[in-house]
Amino acid sequence: MKVVFAALLAAVASNNASAFSTSSCTVTRTSSLSMSASEEDRRSFVTKSATTAAAATLATLGSASAPLPASAAASRQWRQVKVPFEDTVYDIDFDSPTHGYIVGARGSFAETNDGGATWEPRSFSNLDAEEEITYRFQVVSFNNGEGWVLGKPTLLLHTKDGGKTWERIPLSPKLPGEPTGILATGPNSAEMITSSGAVYTTENAGRNWKAQVKETIDATLNRISSSGVSGASYFTGSIVNEQRDSKGAYIAVSSRGNFFLTWEPGQDFWIPHNRGTPRRIQNMGFVRGDIKNGLWMTLNGGKVVG
C-alpha cells in the first residue's frame, strides 16, 4: 500500500468552507441645472445621507473576512504530523491500515502502529549508530509483513517479520548504475531498478537476482544511434523519476529531461520516445496506474500534459 507524499502530512477531514456573498449597492444620480434654497437643503441632506451609507457599507465590507485563496483553503484539509526527527523524509509505506514505516536522511527511520497518527524512532540492529547516520534511506516497501529498505550509499535491508529484525543484503559492486527503487512483490520476492535502467527480480530473499532487461539504457541508445529521438543518440547520462505501473511496466525520464523511455515485462530493451514539446520534462506517470491507459507529464514552467 504505497502512499506518496511531497512532504510528510496526514490527511484529515476538513470543515465545510464558509460561504461568502457580496452585497450590491445601487447609486442613483440626479442632475439639476438650477436649485432653490429648499432644494439645496434637500440636496445637502441626500449627499450627507449617501456619504454616511457608503461609509457604513465600506466598514461592513472591511470587517468581513476575505475569501481564502484556493491553495490556502486546500491546505486546511491537511495537518502536520510530528515525527521523531527533523531530517528530510523520502518515503513511506504501510503493510496494514495501521502499521507502517517512514525513512529519510541521516539514517532516519520510524514506525507507526496507529495509522500514522504517531511515530516512534527505530534503528537497525545490524548497523551501529555511527554507521547508520551516514546513510540516506530513500525507499521502503512492504508486502504482508515482509519489507525492504534501500539506502545510499548503496545499502539494501530486508525483514520477514514486520520490521522486528533486519538482514543486510549484499549487492554486487559491478551492478550497472545505482539502485534507485525496490518493491516487495511477495514472499522472499522483490523487484529492483537502477539508475541505468537495469531491472532485477529475486525470489529467494535477495540471494540471487535475475536481470529482466538485456542491456542498460545507454548501451541500447548507443547501439541504436539513429533512433530518431532527440538527445538519445550516444546517450551517457542516467534516468530519473522511474515509475512502475500496477502490472510491472516502467517509465523513466532522461536526466536532462529531453526524452523519456518505457519498458514492459517481456521486452528485451527500453524504448526511447520524443517528448513532443520544447520544454524539459520534470516528471511523468501513468493514467490510473496503467500504461495502457496513457501517460501524463509535467514540464518545465509548470505545464501539465497528458
- pLDDT at 79 exceeding the cut of 70: yes
Given a contact cutoff of 8 angstroms between Cβ atoms, the answer to whether 291 and 301 are in contact is no
- Residue 236 is predicted with a pLDDT of 59
Of the ranges 39-48, 213-222, 249-258, 270-279, which one carries the lowest mean pLDDT score?
Answer: 39-48
pLDDT of residue 34: 35
Average pLDDT of the chain to the nearest whole number: 79
User: Is a pLDDT exceeding 70 seen at residue 74?
Assistant: no
The confidence band for 228, taking pLDDT boundaries of 50, 70 and 90, is: low
Flag the least confident range among 12-16, 139-143, 258-262, 292-296: 12-16
**Higher pLDDT residue, 68 or 286?**
286
Higher pLDDT, 225 or 143: 143
Q: What is the pLDDT of residues 245-254, one digit of tens each?
A: 999 999 999 8
Query: Which amino acid is it at 164?
Result: K
pLDDT band, very low/low/confident/very high, at 7 (cuts 50, 70, 90): very low
Q: With beta carbons less than 8 A apart as the criterion, state whether 194 and 178 touch.
A: yes
Average pLDDT estimate for 101-128: 93
pLDDT tens track for 167-222: 999 999 889 999 999 999 999 999 999 999 999 999 999 999 999 999 888 888 87
**Which residue would you say has higher pLDDT here, 27 or 85?**
85
Which pLDDT score, from 0 to 100, does residue 68 have? 59
pLDDT at position 149 over 90: yes
Does residue 62 carry a pLDDT above 60? no
Per-residue cell: 47 = 449627499
Q: Which cell goes with 110?
A: 520510524
User: What percentage of the chain exceeds 90 in pLDDT?
Assistant: 54
The pLDDT confidence band at residue 158, using thresholds 50, 70 and 90, is: very high
pLDDT, residue 11, reads 42
**What would the mean pLDDT of 90-111 be, rounded to a whole number?**
95
